Amino acid sequence: QQQVKQSPQSLIVQKGGISIINCAYENTAFDYFPWYQQFPGKGPALLIAIRPDVSEKKEGRFTISFNKSAKQFSLHIMDSQPGDSATYFCAARRSRGSTLGRLYFGRGTQLTVWP
Amino acid sequence: SQTIHQWPATLVQPVGSPLSLECTVEGTSNPNLYWYRQAAGRGLQLLFYSVGIGQISSEVPQNLSASRPQDRQFILSSKKLLLSDSGFYLCAWSPGLHSNQPQHFGDGTRLSIL
Protein backbone atom coordinates (compact mmCIF):
# COMPACT_ATOMS: atom_id res chain seq x y z
CA GLN A 1 0.00 0.00 0.00
CA GLN A 2 1.41 3.34 -1.08
CA GLN A 3 1.49 5.57 1.99
CA VAL A 4 2.27 8.69 -0.02
CA LYS A 5 0.86 9.27 -3.50
CA GLN A 6 2.68 11.65 -5.81
CA SER A 7 1.68 13.22 -9.12
CA PRO A 8 2.41 13.82 -11.88
CA GLN A 9 4.92 11.14 -12.79
CA SER A 10 6.60 13.49 -15.24
CA LEU A 11 6.41 17.22 -15.84
CA ILE A 12 7.72 19.47 -18.60
CA VAL A 13 7.91 23.19 -17.93
CA GLN A 14 9.23 26.12 -19.91
CA LYS A 15 12.08 28.09 -18.43
CA GLY A 16 10.70 30.80 -16.17
CA GLY A 17 7.47 28.93 -15.55
CA ILE A 18 6.08 27.46 -12.35
CA SER A 19 6.52 23.74 -11.63
CA ILE A 20 3.95 22.18 -9.31
CA ILE A 21 4.18 18.67 -7.86
CA ASN A 22 1.48 17.28 -5.63
CA CYS A 23 1.43 14.65 -2.89
CA ALA A 24 -1.29 13.14 -0.74
CA TYR A 25 -1.20 10.95 2.34
CA GLU A 26 -3.64 9.04 4.52
CA ASN A 27 -1.89 8.54 7.86
CA THR A 28 -2.80 11.49 10.09
CA ALA A 29 0.08 10.57 12.41
CA PHE A 30 2.58 11.86 9.84
CA ASP A 31 4.15 15.06 11.17
CA TYR A 32 7.11 15.76 8.92
CA PHE A 33 7.02 16.22 5.16
CA PRO A 34 10.31 16.60 3.27
CA TRP A 35 11.00 16.98 -0.42
CA TYR A 36 14.10 15.47 -1.99
CA GLN A 37 15.78 16.40 -5.26
CA GLN A 38 17.73 13.78 -7.20
CA PHE A 39 20.01 14.32 -10.19
CA PRO A 40 20.94 11.39 -12.46
CA GLY A 41 23.55 9.12 -10.92
CA LYS A 42 23.28 10.80 -7.52
CA GLY A 43 21.46 10.09 -4.31
CA PRO A 44 18.44 12.18 -3.30
CA ALA A 45 19.28 15.39 -1.44
CA LEU A 46 16.98 17.11 1.03
CA LEU A 47 15.51 20.19 -0.63
CA ILE A 48 12.96 21.59 1.78
CA ALA A 49 10.69 20.26 4.52
CA ILE A 50 7.59 21.32 6.41
CA ARG A 51 5.74 20.37 9.59
CA PRO A 52 1.93 20.45 9.78
CA ASP A 53 1.79 23.41 12.14
CA VAL A 54 2.41 25.78 9.20
CA SER A 55 0.62 26.02 5.87
CA GLU A 56 3.51 27.24 3.79
CA LYS A 57 7.29 27.29 3.81
CA LYS A 58 9.42 29.14 1.32
CA GLU A 59 13.14 28.83 0.61
CA GLY A 60 14.29 30.86 -2.36
CA ARG A 61 12.35 29.72 -5.43
CA PHE A 62 11.02 26.61 -3.67
CA THR A 63 7.77 26.66 -1.68
CA ILE A 64 5.89 23.90 0.10
CA SER A 65 2.16 24.39 0.51
CA PHE A 66 0.49 22.20 3.12
CA ASN A 67 -3.21 21.49 3.52
CA LYS A 68 -3.72 19.50 6.71
CA SER A 69 -7.47 19.01 6.34
CA ALA A 70 -7.09 17.66 2.82
CA LYS A 71 -3.97 15.69 3.75
CA GLN A 72 -2.15 17.12 0.78
CA PHE A 73 1.07 19.00 0.24
CA SER A 74 2.75 20.35 -2.83
CA LEU A 75 6.05 21.70 -4.07
CA HIS A 76 6.10 24.87 -6.16
CA ILE A 77 9.20 25.86 -8.07
CA MET A 78 8.99 29.46 -9.18
CA ASP A 79 10.95 30.77 -12.17
CA SER A 80 11.93 27.21 -13.10
CA GLN A 81 15.41 26.85 -14.56
CA PRO A 82 17.04 24.11 -16.68
CA GLY A 83 19.24 23.34 -13.68
CA ASP A 84 16.09 22.35 -11.78
CA SER A 85 15.63 19.40 -14.13
CA ALA A 86 15.74 16.41 -11.79
CA THR A 87 13.54 13.83 -10.10
CA TYR A 88 11.65 15.10 -7.08
CA PHE A 89 10.37 12.90 -4.27
CA CYS A 90 7.94 13.83 -1.56
CA ALA A 91 7.98 11.90 1.69
CA ALA A 92 6.26 11.70 5.04
CA ARG A 93 7.25 10.53 8.48
CA ARG A 94 5.79 9.94 11.90
CA SER A 95 8.23 11.28 14.46
CA ARG A 96 6.37 10.77 17.72
CA GLY A 97 6.71 7.37 19.30
CA SER A 98 9.46 6.34 16.92
CA THR A 99 13.23 6.52 17.26
CA LEU A 100 13.68 5.36 13.70
CA GLY A 101 12.06 8.17 11.78
CA ARG A 102 11.19 5.98 8.86
CA LEU A 103 10.32 7.91 5.69
CA TYR A 104 7.57 6.90 3.30
CA PHE A 105 8.32 8.13 -0.21
CA GLY A 106 6.18 9.01 -3.18
CA ARG A 107 7.14 7.45 -6.49
CA GLY A 108 8.83 10.55 -7.80
CA THR A 109 8.27 13.18 -10.47
CA GLN A 110 10.72 13.65 -13.30
CA LEU A 111 10.88 17.38 -14.02
CA THR A 112 12.28 18.70 -17.29
CA VAL A 113 12.70 22.44 -17.73
CA TRP A 114 13.15 23.52 -21.35
CA PRO A 115 15.39 26.53 -22.00
CA SER B 1 30.51 17.66 9.11
CA GLN B 2 28.93 14.32 8.40
CA THR B 3 29.55 12.44 5.18
CA ILE B 4 28.32 9.15 3.77
CA HIS B 5 30.28 6.98 1.38
CA GLN B 6 29.07 4.15 -0.79
CA TRP B 7 31.11 1.89 -3.02
CA PRO B 8 31.42 0.78 -5.64
CA ALA B 9 29.59 3.37 -7.74
CA THR B 10 28.80 0.81 -10.44
CA LEU B 11 28.93 -2.94 -10.46
CA VAL B 12 28.26 -5.58 -13.09
CA GLN B 13 27.79 -9.09 -11.77
CA PRO B 14 26.73 -12.42 -13.31
CA VAL B 15 23.63 -14.21 -12.12
CA GLY B 16 24.40 -16.49 -9.20
CA SER B 17 27.45 -14.56 -8.02
CA PRO B 18 27.74 -13.09 -4.50
CA LEU B 19 27.34 -9.42 -3.65
CA SER B 20 28.76 -7.06 -1.07
CA LEU B 21 28.00 -3.35 -1.08
CA GLU B 22 29.47 -1.17 1.61
CA CYS B 23 28.35 2.05 3.19
CA THR B 24 30.17 4.10 5.82
CA VAL B 25 29.25 7.28 7.64
CA GLU B 26 31.75 9.74 9.04
CA GLY B 27 31.38 12.56 11.52
CA THR B 28 28.64 11.11 13.67
CA SER B 29 28.06 8.27 16.09
CA ASN B 30 25.22 5.82 16.62
CA PRO B 31 23.38 6.78 13.42
CA ASN B 32 20.30 5.08 12.08
CA LEU B 33 21.27 3.42 8.81
CA TYR B 34 19.12 2.43 5.84
CA TRP B 35 19.39 0.52 2.57
CA TYR B 36 17.00 1.45 -0.25
CA ARG B 37 16.54 0.15 -3.76
CA GLN B 38 15.36 2.50 -6.45
CA ALA B 39 13.64 1.22 -9.58
CA ALA B 40 12.51 3.47 -12.40
CA GLY B 41 9.03 4.84 -11.78
CA ARG B 42 8.68 3.06 -8.46
CA GLY B 43 10.39 5.44 -6.10
CA LEU B 44 12.48 4.37 -3.16
CA GLN B 45 11.88 0.99 -1.59
CA LEU B 46 13.22 0.53 1.94
CA LEU B 47 15.05 -2.79 2.20
CA PHE B 48 16.74 -2.76 5.61
CA TYR B 49 17.30 -0.44 8.51
CA SER B 50 19.46 -0.53 11.60
CA VAL B 51 19.37 1.42 14.85
CA GLY B 52 22.59 -0.08 16.23
CA ILE B 53 25.43 -2.58 15.80
CA GLY B 54 24.10 -6.00 14.95
CA GLN B 55 20.50 -4.76 14.89
CA ILE B 56 18.96 -5.26 11.46
CA SER B 57 15.32 -5.06 10.46
CA SER B 58 14.10 -6.22 7.09
CA GLU B 59 11.22 -4.56 5.30
CA VAL B 60 10.90 -6.81 2.28
CA PRO B 61 11.60 -10.58 2.13
CA GLN B 62 14.11 -11.13 -0.63
CA ASN B 63 17.40 -12.50 -1.80
CA LEU B 64 19.39 -9.87 0.07
CA SER B 65 20.71 -9.47 3.62
CA ALA B 66 22.29 -6.67 5.59
CA SER B 67 24.79 -6.46 8.40
CA ARG B 68 26.17 -3.75 10.64
CA PRO B 69 29.52 -4.94 11.99
CA GLN B 70 30.56 -1.49 13.21
CA ASP B 71 28.69 1.57 14.39
CA ARG B 72 29.09 3.49 11.13
CA GLN B 73 29.32 0.63 8.65
CA PHE B 74 26.39 -0.94 6.85
CA ILE B 75 26.78 -3.79 4.37
CA LEU B 76 24.31 -5.17 1.85
CA SER B 77 24.96 -8.74 0.74
CA SER B 78 23.69 -11.61 -1.31
CA LYS B 79 24.93 -15.17 -1.64
CA LYS B 80 23.48 -15.64 -5.13
CA LEU B 81 22.32 -12.72 -7.24
CA LEU B 82 19.17 -12.89 -9.33
CA LEU B 83 18.37 -10.89 -12.45
CA SER B 84 15.69 -9.11 -10.44
CA ASP B 85 18.35 -7.75 -8.07
CA SER B 86 19.43 -5.22 -10.69
CA GLY B 87 18.83 -1.65 -9.63
CA PHE B 88 20.17 1.45 -7.96
CA TYR B 89 21.01 0.85 -4.30
CA LEU B 90 21.13 3.74 -1.90
CA CYS B 91 22.41 3.94 1.64
CA ALA B 92 21.14 6.64 3.98
CA TRP B 93 21.67 7.76 7.54
CA SER B 94 19.89 9.86 10.12
CA PRO B 95 20.88 10.88 13.65
CA GLY B 96 20.03 8.10 16.06
CA LEU B 97 17.58 8.67 18.92
CA HIS B 98 16.28 11.78 17.16
CA SER B 99 13.52 10.70 14.83
CA ASN B 100 12.75 14.28 13.83
CA GLN B 101 15.99 14.67 11.90
CA PRO B 102 16.19 14.21 8.11
CA GLN B 103 17.76 11.31 6.28
CA HIS B 104 20.85 11.89 4.18
CA PHE B 105 21.69 9.71 1.19
CA GLY B 106 24.86 8.47 -0.40
CA ASP B 107 25.37 8.59 -4.14
CA GLY B 108 24.34 5.00 -4.65
CA THR B 109 25.56 1.89 -6.44
CA ARG B 110 24.24 1.01 -9.87
CA LEU B 111 24.05 -2.79 -9.94
CA SER B 112 23.59 -4.63 -13.22
CA ILE B 113 23.08 -8.38 -13.27
CA LEU B 114 23.93 -10.21 -16.49
A57-69 confidence digits (pLDDT tens): 999 999 999 999 9
pLDDT greater than 90 at residue B97: no
CB B16 within 8 A of CB B80: yes
Residue in A34, A46, A108 closest to B43 by CB: A108
Inform me whether the C-beta atom of residue B56 falls under 8 Å from chain A C-beta atoms: no
- Best interface-test mutation with B: which of A37, A103, A109 has the largest number of B CBs within 10 A? A103
A81 SS3 class: coil
pLDDT band at B8 (very low <50, low <70, confident <90, very high): very high
Q: For A28-48, what is the mean pLDDT?
A: 94
The CATH number of the domain where A91 resides is what?
2.60.40.10
Residue in A34, A41, A105 closest to B44 by CB: A105
pLDDT greater than 90 at residue A5: yes
Domain that holds residue A64: 4-114
The CATH number of the domain where B83 resides is what?
2.60.40.10
| Dist. CA A50–CA B22, nearest whole Å | 32
| Dist. CA B35–CA B58, nearest whole Å | 10
| Dist. CA A60–CA B12, nearest whole Å | 40
Those residues with Cβ within 8 angstroms of residue A99's Cβ, 6 or more apart along the chain or in another chain: B32, B51, B96, B97, B99
Chain B, 26 to 55: residues with Cβ < 8 Å from chain A are 32, 41-44, 46, 49, 51
Please answer yes or no on whether A43 and B90 come within 8 Å at the CB atom. Answer: yes
Domain that holds residue B7: 3-113
Residue B13 pairs in a beta bridge with B113
> CA B99: distance to chain centroid?
19
Average pLDDT over chain A, rounded to an integer: 93
Please answer yes or no on whether A99 and B97 come within 8 Å at the CB atom. Answer: yes
DSSP assignment of B59-107 equals SS-SS-EEEEEETTEEEEEESS--GGG-EEEEEEEE-TT-TTSPPEE--
Q: Which residue has the higher pLDDT, B102 or A42?
A: A42
Inform me whether the C-beta atom of residue A10 falls under 8 Å from chain B C-beta atoms: no
Residue in B32, B100, B108 closest to A43 by CB: B108
What's the domain count of chain A? 1
What's the domain count of chain B? 1
| Dist. CA B23–CA B76, nearest whole Å | 8
